[in-house]
Structure 1
């Protein structure tokens, strides 16, 4: 054997030795042992992971919901919590076939499986490790766990937790509860999370009203919400979503959830075009704010509301609300030049309309827009209601059986001294208010005094009734107790009140003396709790005879008095004008048998909200309640009543509209006028505030009221002053409003 042969033999021997060593190292027994060892190790690790990982609390984002606000007819008004559009609904309200559509699209074996898809999870883990990103294949349970308990991050740790938690959730939770959690948390596109928001976003209906075809589209959408949204989808995206929709329905047939014949009749349900979610601009913000404030008063705190999940239905009538907005625009805003007129820039309008039979607030106007003027002019209480308070003075006189200084029972035909700046008699507190334009009246009756809003008459009437008794009646009727003094000056409406307050006060008169409390929330429901709604109608606070007699007086204000601009002859109406000191506010509050509405204009400086005069608004001269407010009221009321109404006031206890009560009450008030406070509004001498806007081009007639009562107090001069604008419509005979307190 040569050297070459020897080397070859040596190599063969070495290879044989090596291969034998490998075979000895990697025997089948050792390979199987290693495999089973790794399996046991994995099983042990998984068992440890199963014990270690608990089902966590739901994540905050999954639990967060929007609050939904609706008009009285159930149509959507707004959603709050703008960062999430979700309203959780019970599975029971979702049609059964729509439920099955989601299962058919996402996880046909959902009702049979253990909550996990091991193959899909393994594929997802591999793809995550290899950087291939998000992959499908999870069960409905896993997707629910990811959305409700975990996060959307793509990590191995999150996927392992998802697997363990899904197994635990499947063991401890009913399938229907898992399905409900899934369809309420998953994202559908168009900013909608949860099936209720999605149903509204794509089809403009509630989840309970979805049909099977629509439900199949929403289920198909979940695979790629942005790509499959029909409004923005590419041709290929539309093709894919239609295929996915058909796949979903076919799976439902396979599972026995849908008849083939029904399936064959279905056509693709093209979704509605997307719409912007209702925001808080315009009047919406004011309506939502008023509802929230009422909920707060009823024990639903801001913290509770911020958690979301409330469905709040308002008493607001959608048609009446739109009519009120149109009326303000037509009768006021279209007349203003807010950009170029300093006066017009200060004008703020507010209004509240109430159903006097129920207390429901059916319409509300808070200002030019909630995102532009944050204070609601409907509910603000920083302006005086002025002469709209005078009917309450009369109501108190009637209710208390009060008498004049001469011992005459006060009624509609009672005669008073109408001399301007006449000092009141019987009060330790001096008070001598000026009538509008300093006009004196020749022995007016109470009816005439109400028509013309004569300050001198009602100042004396307050003293006759006693200020404390008048205040008590006012509070009972609904004037807010802001600590206003019980002095003779309260006849001028020198306390603060809102249009909301005064609409309720007049609604109580309209409701024959039975207390009406304005309420805007019809219902407020949460899955965990409900709010007890406000009872809008309460006890009898003044007698029907007293309330109806005041109504009779106020019908004449609209027919022939300072509120004539509110009279369209298309409805029965009663009301009162008011213009506060220095023309800072102008009011008309009135009612028909079906609506009580307060309309007011407020002068507010754009710099800091200081109260300023409305004089010169839209170049109309002196501000007055018989002008813009009365015209807004009339236009709104006519439209809200559908062009008119045949309803009439059912007045009882009023004799021919002349006497107030058929007999006097058995007791008279024991209170006496307070003598400890001198009001700053009006000293006993001529007030410092005198009208400067009296038109010079008008003639100066001598005018005496046409009504001459049977008795005439001494010292009652005839009117010798020229008429002013006040609360009288332009070109009409003079009224009784006064810059000082009307």
Structure 2
């Protein structure tokens, strides 16, 4: 009754209505993948007002039908609806509410949700002022950009992407009704957690749409016969690790945004989703063996990040293990040792002996208890023999191995104790991907990056990445020799579980002696992918090696990722330098008696 009296008196007190506060909205930064698909938004909570012209007419109609069917007739409040709610309150003893869309917007823009008489009265006055200041379309556009749908989604665009993995402009009648139904209680009618209640509410919205003429009875029946696919988790959830990684870089490049920005990135969303699916599925399968986390980084030959997974569930654990976690590389480090040896003049065919060895009081052990005796260096790498790698690093110089690793892209400090040959250095998956990229792109050093361009929504370019001249990090023949040896790893060594028929693949498994970390690092022409598995508390897994969970994640991901790339061979790199042939040096002839002699000048 108080609300009714306040409403009826508004026309009398119109000159004294409070002025609307300034409408504020913090700028947002929208991140898009290489094809323009939105992968994340950072900054302000609310999106710009919805462009109603780009939505099917039934989308806004769904909200008007269920939330405020006299929206286009009232001046900010609905006396008829308020009277109906009052009667319902008196008969049921429960509050039915009677807020119009304009009132809801006023509360959203300027007020708290406190249930007080003062707040309700102010809400009514602000609603009238909104109607006097803005058109119905503007009010509805603002409303649809700010209402909360649960699951962290503010505004219809975010909700459409979250629940249906599509822009709001592509919503079906049933999907629009589902979203409109959520607003009464985002928790109670969540289509993910409460599918039955959501479906019941959706039918109510569809009935209201028929009653208001927004759709026909036939369209209602058709909508009910086509339940939508509701995504249990947001399809872009795995990409949030990548977006977090870029957000600081974006602000460092352009400063605090004063207007909405768009960041065009290198990520390929379908490839990212494939990486997230593979990491979650395989981690779940190996959970009984202690595998609880995984990280995946995939780069193209120029260092563009095509996929980055920093963990198996961003909502539960947003810590980015792909960038920020530094773990022992295990045997995935050995290619740096072998490359140093190749550059020192050794070859894959060189015979060495797998036998007990002690270096400065340290004696490495192999994964298998037996020694293999005489093997080639190629066989030693393929089977990841620790004794050979340790002796090799000692022979070529561990400082030289560290220098080679840094040259290829390792940025962490490299220890040079005898065990470094077996991968005791702490590295991130991102820097391992940088370093391995040189093996797969023709020998060039890359710096992984994710931002191509930053622009305003109006098109003004604030940042454009400029490609640097490629730096040759590995020459031939060492490059070709390493490619040959790492192909053998996948053909007949520890990496056979990762092999994919029909592709030119090479790589290396990595396992630490205590089973705390397991890796697979592999590549083909144009794409390198590094996978790590382990536990955040650094406790051991149960006999998880690089040939098990990491290899399965790598293979599962690459099978899908390679469908989006040309099937090309691994680039061989620059031709070997031609041998230097000494040029003969001509010697001057000795003088003879027949040589002409100087004569006196003739007299003038």
State whether structure 2 residue 423 is matched by structure 1 residue 493.
yes
Structure 1: tracts of 5 or more residues without a match: 1-40, 251-262, 339-343, 404-408, 424-429, 618-622, 656-660, 665-742
- CA gap of 1:129–1:473, structure 2 versus 1, over 3 A, is same
SS at match of 1:270: helix
Question: Quick one: which of 250, 264, 270 aligns to 2:223?
Answer: 270
Matching of residue 288 in structure 1 with residue 243 in structure 2: no
For 1:95, the equivalent position in structure 2 comes to: 55
Question: Which of 353, 357, 368 pairs up with 1:421?
Answer: 357
Q: Distance in 2 between matches of 1:416 and 1:434?
A: 16
- Which of 309, 313, 329 in structure 2 is aligned with 1:385? 329
- From 590, 596, 599, the equivalent of 2:522 is 590
Paired with 2:178 and 2:497, the residues of 1 have a C-alpha distance of 56
TM-score, normalised relative to structure 1: 0.56
For 1:541 and 1:506, the matched residues in 2 are separated by: 14
CA, structure 1 residues 590+119, in 2 after alignment: closer, same or farther (shift >3 Å)?
closer
Which residue is equivalent to 2:139? 178
Report whether the alignment pairs 1:360 with 2:305. yes
CA contact (8 A) 2:156 2:168 kept: yes
Q: Distance in 1 between matches of 2:516 and 2:501?
A: 30
Q: Secondary structure at the match of 1:472?
A: helix
Distance 1:350 1:202 in 2: 25
CA–CA distance in structure 2, aligned partners of residues 286 and 217 of structure 1: 25
Match of 1:447 among 363, 378, 386: 378
Q: Which moved more, 1:460-469 or 1:486-495?
A: 460-469
Alignment check: 8 A CA contact 2:29 2:42 kept? yes
- After superposition, residues 54-453 of structure 1 pair within 5 angstroms as 54-56=19-21, 90-91=50-51, 94-95=54-55, 97=57, 101=61, 116=76, 136=98, 141-151=102-112, 157-158=118-119, 160-162=121-123, 164-166=125-127, 168-170=129-131, 173=134, 176-186=137-147, 194-196=155-157, 199=160, 205-210=166-171, 232=197, 242=207, 244-249=209-214, 270=223, 278-279=232-233, 288-289=240-241, 291-299=243-251, 315-316=268-269, 317=271, 318-327=273-282, 332=286, 338=288, 344=289, 346-348=290-292, 350-357=294-301, 359-362=304-307, 364=309, 366=311, 381-396=325-340, 402-403=343-344, 409-413=345-349, 420-421=356-357, 430=360, 434=364, 436=366, 437=369, 439=371, 441-442=373-374, 446-453=377-384
Q: Which has the higher strand share?
A: 2
Which residue in the other structure is 2:537 paired with? 609
Matches within 5 A, 1:15-30: none
Q: After the TM superposition, which residues 539-688 of structure 1 pair with which residues of structure 2 at under 5 Å, given as runs?
A: 539-543=470-474, 545=476, 546-567=478-499, 569-593=501-525, 595-602=527-534, 609=537, 611-612=539-540, 614=542, 617=543, 624-626=545-547, 629-630=550-551, 633-634=554-555, 637-638=558-559, 641=562, 647-653=568-574
In 1, Cα distance between equivalents of 2:46 and 2:229: 16
| Gap runs ≥5 in structure 2 | 1-8, 581-604
Larger Rg computed on CA atoms: 1
Question: In 1, distance between residues paired with 2:161 and 2:496?
Answer: 47
d(CA) in 2 for partners of 1:600, 1:221: 39
CA distance in 2, matches of 1:389, 1:581: 13
Compute the displacement of 1:56 (Å). 3.0
Q: Residues 586 and 89 (structure 1 numbering): CA distance in 2 closer, same or farther, change over 3 Å?
A: same
Q: CA RMSD in A?
A: 6.0
The residue that corresponds to 1:739 in the other structure is none
CA 1:286–1:120 in 2, change beyond 3 Å: closer, same or farther?
closer
Contact map agreement 1:524 1:530 (CA 8 A) in 2:
yes
